[in-house]
Structure formats: C-alpha cells, structure tokens
A and B are shown apart, each in its own frame.
Chain A
Amino acid sequence: MELNTDLLIIGGGSAGTMAAIVAKEQNPDIDVLIIEKAEINRSGSIAMGMDALNIVIQPGLSTSEQYLDSVKIITEGILDYKPSLVMAERSYALLKRLESWGIHFPQNEDEEYISLQVHAKGKFLVEMDSPDLKLVLAKKVKEAKVKVLNRTIITKLLVKEGRVNGALGFNVRSGEFVVCKAKAVILANGGCARFSLPNSGYLYGTFDYPGNAGDGYALAYHAGAQLTGFEYTSCSPLIKDLNCPLLYITLTRGAEVVNALGETLDFEYLSPQFMLNELREGRGPIFIKMNHLPEERIKEIENILFTTERPIQKRFWEERGVDFREGLIELGETEYQLCGGHGFTGIVVNERAETSLKGLYAAGDVACVPFQHLTGAFVFGEIAAEEAIKYASTIKHIELDPSSLKEEEKRLQNIIDINKKGAISVQEFEYKVRRKISDYAIPPKNETKLNQMLWWIQRFRAEVSDIKISDYHELSKFEEIRFILDCAELSVRASLTRKESRWGWFHYRIDFPERDDEKWLKHVILEKNKTNGEMKVSLRDIKDRWK
C-alpha cells in the first residue's frame, strides 16, 4: 500500500487524535493521516476514559509559576522550563475545548471545577467524568475528515536530505507492507510500558497500555533524533498484582496509607517514592485504608474506579472478597517503565514540539515534557499540529528512496521466512528480555550490573533469529521486542553516564550514592552516531528560566 499525505501522525491516542483534529481546524484542505497500531475508537492509554485532567492552571486559583515550581521539585531541576510553561499556560483553554466537545468536568455548588492538590505548590488536578473520552476524540477525528489507517505498526521512519519524509510499516493482520510519504510527521505513539517484568510475572499485566512498547523512542532514535531522560526508570505503588491505578482517586478523597505495622503514613503531598520506600525497608505490605470514610465517599470512589479507566477492578475485588468498607487494598510496586507523561523519558522537544530532526514532531508520552500527564498529551498534540502544518505548507514532498523501501520490506519478509525453523516462541523471548531488564537495568544500579545488561542486549540481538514467527501478529511482537531492546540500551547507557544518584530510588547508583548538582545538573542526551551507527551520549545544560 502506497500512501501520500501532507501530515502523518503515528499513533491515534490522546496526543495523536488531538493533533489530527487541530491540524484540520487550522487548515481543512490539508491532508492528514493517522496510522494506528490498534483501532482508533479504543486505542492508546485512555481506551476506557480518564477520571482527571492532572494539570490545569485555573485563573484565580493557581498560576503557571506555581506549576513550574512544582515540576521543578519533582524533576530535581532537570527541566527545560519552556515546554512546561507553555503547557501550563494553555491548559485552561484546553479544558474549555474539551468541555465544548461534551467532556464533563464536574463542579461544586459554587460552580467551581472540583480541583484537588497532588502537586507540591498548587491545586492543578481537575476532576473529569469521562468514560467515553476516547470515543469522543475518535468521532471528532472522523468528523474532521482525517484519514485513519488502523492495525498498522510503523517499523521505520524515512529520512532524506536531513528531513523526515515518510514512514514504513505493515498491517498486523494481513502483513501488507505500508509505505507512506509525508511532508511532516508527528510521533504520538506512547512510552515504553513493557520495560521490566511486572511482579505478577504476567507479561501484559502492566500499569500502562502494553501496546506501548517504546516504538516511538526506537523509531526516533534510528532516524537520528535526540532523546533524553532514559536513566529515569520509574514505577508506582498501585493495586498489587492487578497494577491498576487508584492512588489519586482514593487518597485525594480521604483514604490513608498504612504499613504492615499498622502505622499511618504521613506525607506532605502524594509521593509514590515515599510509599515504595516502606516496602524496600521491610515495613510492607502497605495498604490503602478506607474504612473510616462515610458511605457516600466510598460510593463516590467505587463509582469512579468501577466505571472509568480500568473498570475491571470491580471484578478483581469481588473475586478477592474485598469490600472497601472493611477490607484493605494492598499496594504493590508496578513494573518499571519509561514514559514522558508519568516521568521524563522521551524524545527531546522544544516548546514548539519540534524534535532535533527536521520534519519530525513529538507529542504525548513519547516526548520529554516532564510529568505532562494527559494535559501535556493534548496541549502538545495541539502545538505539534500547529507547527507541523506551518512547516508542511512551506515545503514540497521529498521523493522516497526506493532502495530503503525494498530493504525494509525484505528485512520483514526475512524474519517470517528464516524463522520458520526457529524454536523459541516470541512470548518466551520477550519474557527473558524483560526478566533481564528486571535483573540489570533497574535500581539499585551499579556499573557492573548495567554492563551485564549491555552484554545481554548484544546476545539477544544475535538470538532473535531463533524466534519462531508464524503470523503477522507475531511479527509485530517481534518488532516490539526490537523496540524494547533499543529502549533497554538507551536506558542503560544513560544510567551508566549519570555518575550520581538522583530522583530517589529511580536512578539510585550504589557506586555513586550522592546527588551532585555541581556536576550533574544536566541532561543526558542520546542519539545515533551518523558515522558508525553506535549510540552517542552527551551532556547538555539545563535551559532554565534565568539563562
């Protein structure tokens, strides 16, 4: 299949759908195509809706400055302030846009949005009651006459004359090879949820949507874009085994966290690291306790948890025989992930969503706008569209290079062909890759341990030819393993470079246990060396407000 578009958006989740809608708003005549790995009505991390917009600066209630101060605390200073500032400044208009589309933000009796404090310096979180959020976005995409190609995985970005000019991939059901020529490309295909192994041992039991295998990080890296924040390997305390979220929903409504000794944990603002520390220091298991809350509060919590984002929780608790009125909810540590929304791992972008590569923009979890959450995905979806449209209107298509098309098509065909004799199932292979990531690429880190991971990555890359691939669905899983391995290498090389400890446990180096602001108040930047194809690591100064 050969496609030709002005603007190609890879990934039709929160950021991608918003980018497509805004692009058409800006210029209805422009040709916009979303290529989505799943199906756009229910794809990305918000398939079953979301219960809050985490960052909204409401006039009279909070300021962008307060938000910047808060995010600076969380990132411990590793923050270019401009993208976060732009996000904060546009956040209220974004809420109003969503509201005009029928997304419901409940208000109290004084007609104020229900706002909760989860950050250090202000009330930025606004409750949202929207189980059908993704359906609304998908409908808007269709109304705007955006073209959508579902069930298609992108495996390569094309670059010519220093510009991204298209992408290649295949249909995960039919195997049809897809070639797409584009004037500009927006990457909006999520972080890497499938990084270390969940403690349940179930490969797909991850906190974030497991379709996010680091596709965008790997695509951007091989195309030559800069990435950052990969040493920030993070996890959260969520429902043990199920790995579904409930922290904000319960704790902002009066629930408490207690440890194994029956002590109530006392924290100034919501700190997942503080809770996880109880587990590491042997005071686990830790629990969420709600039995002191009035019935109406418990019902309110149940109503959110059992209808929005991960409604399967209802069945989980019923099967376990836990009622929030009496029982405790055990919290466990999720797998470690790499994410630009819940952390700050991602493609380097500026306040215009531009990557370091011409013609390539990034938005949402794939981009490094630290702790941007859903607000950032939407706002940077808007920005990426505005900027990409401007850029695309000034240039002509660059013809694709037929040899790179053939090369990629042949590579994919070969995986299916040569592996017919392979003996290892794709799942068994992924299990081992992620088992090794759990062994060597997550904290506590040290140089020997991280080098062990590099050894395993090389070995895995040599062994992938032993994987048995029998259909195109499995071929897509094979490609995702390739992405996961790239993410592991990016993370390990960044972790080896940052010879200090930062962000509490998440980048704790046992061989460099102290935080060292004098030397390390810098970004670790990763990119592909154009000459030898190896991973190049460099340091870059922080773009602070005062510089």
Chain B
Amino acid sequence: MTLIIDENLCTSCSECVECCPMDIIRLDENGIPYQKYNECWYCGVCEEDCPENALVIELPFLVK
C-alpha cells in the first residue's frame, strides 16, 4: 500500500502531511511524500486537499 505521487506536479508543500487524519505521511529527502506508517484509512483527505492533484492513494492489498 503506497501513495502514488506525480513528481512533476508535487511542489513539496507538505499539505498532505499536515491534513492526514492518521498522521502517516512524511516527505522524503527529496521532498516527495511517502507513507511512513502502514495505517491508512483511505479516507482520501490527502487526495482531496493536494493543491496540485499530484497524489493518489492505493488501496491496501487486504482490502482492495
């Protein structure tokens, strides 16, 4: 289960890190968001609030 990021669109603004209700997203050394903790509720807030539409959630394998 991962976040799929369009690196051409992502501006490393951190909005996804700040809005996530489970607080599981962080930026890597290149400023690209990744899912640090395996606790996604697939609420979709990060997709919705990303100002660049640069992010898509992949559903957990156990669920999809």
Contact = CB atoms under 8 A, between A and B. Distances in A.
Interface of A: 38-39, 41-44, 47-48, 151, 172-173, 200-206, 209-211, 241-243, 310-312, 315-316, 319-320, 427, 473
B22 interface: yes
Contact of A312 (B38, B39, B59, B62): B59
Contact of A210 (B18, B19, B22, B48): B22
A48 B23 contact: no
B41 A210 contact: yes
A312 B18 contact: no
Interface in B5-64: 18-23, 36-45, 48-49, 57, 59-60, 62-64
Given A204-B39, A319-B59, A38 B21 contact: yes
B62 A43 contact: no
A242 B40 CA distance: 12
Contacts of A320: 64
Contact of A241 (B20, B37, B45, B63): B63
A173 B64 contact: no
A48 B62 contact: no
A205 B64 CA distance: 11
B41 A48 contact: no
A204 B21 contact: no
B22 A204 contact: yes
Nearest to B40: A204
A47 B21 contact: yes
13 contacts: A38-B22, A39-B18, A39-B19, A39-B20, A39-B23, A200-B63, A209-B43, A312-B42, A319-B59, A320-B64, A427-B38, A473-B36, A473-B37
A200 B1 CA distance: 14
B23 A205 contact: no
B3 to A, nearest CB: 13
A430 to B, nearest CB: 10
Nearest to A202: B62
A211 B59 CA distance: 18
Contacts of B62: 200-202, 205, 241
B19 A42 contact: yes
A48 B43 contact: yes
A38 B19 CA distance: 8
Contacts of A242: 59, 63
A310 B38 CA distance: 19
Nearest to A38: B21
A431 to B, nearest CB: 12
B19 A204 contact: no
Interface residues of B, number: 24
Nearest to B56: A315
A206 B62 CA distance: 12
A210 B39 contact: yes
B14 to A, nearest CB: 12
A240 to B, nearest CB: 10
Given A38-B22, A42-B49, A209 B44 contact: no
Nearest to A41: B19
B40 to A, nearest CB: 7
Contacts of B41: 204-206, 209-210
A296 B56 CA distance: 29
Contacts of B45: 42, 47-48
A201 B40 CA distance: 14
Nearest to A172: B23
Contact of B59 (A43, A172, A173, A316): A316
A427 B38 CA distance: 9
A202 B60 contact: yes
A201 B23 CA distance: 21
A242 to B, nearest CB: 6
Given A38-B22, A42-B49, A319 B64 contact: yes
A47 B20 CA distance: 10
B39 to A, nearest CB: 5
Contacts of B43: 42, 47-48, 209, 310, 312
Among A42, A203, A310, find the residue whose CB has the most chain B CB atoms closer than 10 A. Answer: A42
A42 B25 CA distance: 14
A173 B60 contact: no
B64 to A, nearest CB: 6
Nearest to A134: B45
Given A202-B62, A319-B59, 6 more contacts: A39-B21, A202-B63, A310-B42, A312-B42, A312-B57, A312-B59
A320 B63 CA distance: 11
